[in-house]
C-alpha cells in the first residue's frame, strides 16, 4: 500500500493580510499611519447648530473681505485721481441735531411765557371799550356798574365767568355772556326777562316771567294777564302749570286772556278780556286743548270747557 500524498502551498500571502509581505514600503507606511491616527483620535461629527454657526462665520468673513476689497479699490482710485480724502460725518450728528431742537423749543417757550406775562401784567391789551348788547329796558350804565370791570384792566385778568355772574344779579337779567375781543374790547351779551303775568301785592304789582321769576315791582305793561295763585314762584307747581298753559296758547288767544287762576294744578281757569270763561282743568294734553280752544272761541258762548279735549263744550 502506498502512503497518501501531502500537498504544500508555497504561494505568498496577499498584501494586507496577516503574514503577507508588503509589496511597496511607502504604501505600507501610509496605511499604518492612517490606522494609527484612526485609533488614536475618534472621528468628530458636525451637528446642525455647529454647521449653522460655521456658515454664519464664513458669510461674515466673506462680507468683511468684500468690504475691505471695495474700500481698497476706492482708495486706489482716489489716489490715482489725486482727490483729497473725504471727511467722515461726525458721529454725534444726531446728538447735535437733538440739542438744536431742544434749544429752539426752550427759546420758543421763553418767548411765549414772556409774551403772556407782558399781556397779563401790562396794559398793552387792556379793556378800552365795553360793548353791551341785548338791552331793552335796562341801560348800559346799569349793566356796566354790575359788571364792575375798570377801564385799563388787562383782558387776560378779566374773569369772564365772574363778570357774567355779577351781571346776572340784576333782577331783569335772565342770562349774561361775557367775551374778550382782542385787542381791547369786552363784550357783554344780555338776555332780559320778559313779563308774562302780573300779581298784585301790598307793595305794588309784581311782574313774573315764563319761569315764574319775580323780577320787577312796578306798573305792568298794558294787556298783561293777572296771575291768581296762592304762592307764586318758580318752584310752585300751580304757578308752573298756569304759566305752561299760557305759553301753549296761540298768540291770538293768549292776547285775549286777562286773568289765569290756578288754585291747584287740577283746576285751571282762564278769563278773557270780554268776560268769557275757559275751564281748562289739568295741565295735561296742553297742546291739544290749546288747539281745541282756538276753534271753540269762534262760536258764540260764555263758558268754554276744554277740560276733556275729546268732548269740548260751549255754553
Write down the pLDDT at residue 31: 46
CB 22 within 8 A of CB 28: yes
- Residue 50 pLDDT grade (very low, low, confident, very high; cuts 50, 70, 90): confident
- Residue 88 pLDDT grade (very low, low, confident, very high; cuts 50, 70, 90): low
- Domains of the chain, start order: 128-192 (3.10.20.310), 197-314 (3.40.50.11690)
pLDDT of residue 115 exceeding 70:
no
Cβ neighbours of residue 121 under 8 Å, at least 6 residues apart?
154
Distances (CA, A) of 140 to 129, 143, 188, 189: 12, 5, 10, 11
Write down the pLDDT at residue 9: 43
Is residue 143 packed enough to be buried (19+ CB in 10 Å), middle (13-18) or exposed (0-12)?
A: buried
Cell numbers describing residue 65: 473681505
CB 309 within 8 A of CB 289: yes
pLDDT of residue 113 exceeding 70:
yes
DSSP per residue over 24-40, as a string?
-HHHHHHHHHHHHHHHH
Write down the pLDDT at residue 175: 96
Q: What is the mean pLDDT of the chain?
A: 83
Cβ neighbours of residue 308 under 8 Å, at least 6 residues apart?
281
Cα separation, 209 vs 206, in Å, equals 10
- Residue 112 pLDDT grade (very low, low, confident, very high; cuts 50, 70, 90): confident
Write down the pLDDT at residue 146: 96
pLDDT digits (tens, 9 = 90+) for 281-294: 998 999 999 999 99
Cβ neighbours of residue 190 under 8 Å, at least 6 residues apart?
132, 133, 134, 135, 138, 143, 167, 173, 175, 176
Min mean pLDDT across 42-51, 219-228, 240-249 is at: 42-51
Q: What is the pTM of this model?
A: 0.62
Write down the pLDDT at residue 117: 63
pLDDT of residue 277 exceeding 60:
yes
- Residue 89 pLDDT grade (very low, low, confident, very high; cuts 50, 70, 90): low
Write down the pLDDT at residue 144: 96
Amino acid at each position: 500500500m502506498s502512503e497518501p500524498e501531502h500537498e504544500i502551498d508555497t504561494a505568498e500571502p496577499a498584501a494586507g493580510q496577516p503574514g503577507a509581505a508588503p509589496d511597496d514600503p511607502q504604501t505600507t507606511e501610509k496605511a499604518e499611519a492612517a490606522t494609527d491616527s484612526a485609533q488614536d483620535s475618534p472621528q468628530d461629527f458636525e451637528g446642525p447648530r455647529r454647521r449653522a454657526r460655521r456658515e454664519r462665520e464664513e458669510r461674515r468673513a466673506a462680507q468683511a473681505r468684500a468690504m475691505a476689497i471695495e474700500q481698497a479699490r476706492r482708495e486706489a482710485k482716489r489716489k490715482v485721481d489725486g482727490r483729497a480724502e473725504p471727511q467722515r460725518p461726525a458721529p454725534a450728528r444726531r446728538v447735535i441735531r437733538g440739542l438744536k431742537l431742544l434749544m429752539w423749543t426752550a427759546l420758543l417757550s421763553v418767548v411765549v411765557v414772556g409774551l403772556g406775562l407782558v399781556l397779563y401784567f401790562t396794559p398793552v391789551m387792556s379793556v378800552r371799550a365795553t360793548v353791551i348788547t341785548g338791552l331793552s329796558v335796562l341801560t348800559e350804565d346799569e349793566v356796566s356798574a354790575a359788571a364792575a370791570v375798570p377801564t385799563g384792566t388787562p383782558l387776560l385778568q378779566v374773569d369772564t365767568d365772574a363778570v357774567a355772574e355779577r351781571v346776572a344779579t340784576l333782577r331783569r337779567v335772565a342770562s349774561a355772556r361775557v367775551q374778550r375781543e382782542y385787542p381791547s374790547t369786552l363784550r357783554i351779551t344780555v338776555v332780559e326777562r320778559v313779563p308774562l303775568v302780573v300779581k298784585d301785592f301790598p307793595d305794588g304789582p309784581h311782574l313774573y316771567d315764563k319761569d315764574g321769576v319775580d323780577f320787577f315791582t312796578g306798573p305792568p305793561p298794558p294787556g298783561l294777564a293777572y296771575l291768581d295763585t296762592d304762592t307764586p314762584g318758580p318752584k310752585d307747581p300751580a304757578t308752573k302749570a298756569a304759566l305752561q298753559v299760557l305759553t301753549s296758547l296761540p298768540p291770538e288767544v293768549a292776547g285775549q286772556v286777562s286773568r289765569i287762576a290756578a288754585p291747584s294744578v287740577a283746576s285751571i281757569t282762564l278769563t278773557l278780556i270780554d268776560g268769557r270763561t275757559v275751564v281748562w282743568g289739568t295741565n295735561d294734553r296742553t297742546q291739544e286743548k290749546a288747539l281745541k280752544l282756538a276753534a271753540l272761541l269762534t262760536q258764540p258762548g260764555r263758558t268754554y270747557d276744554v277740560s276733556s279735549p275729546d268732548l269740548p263744550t260751549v255754553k
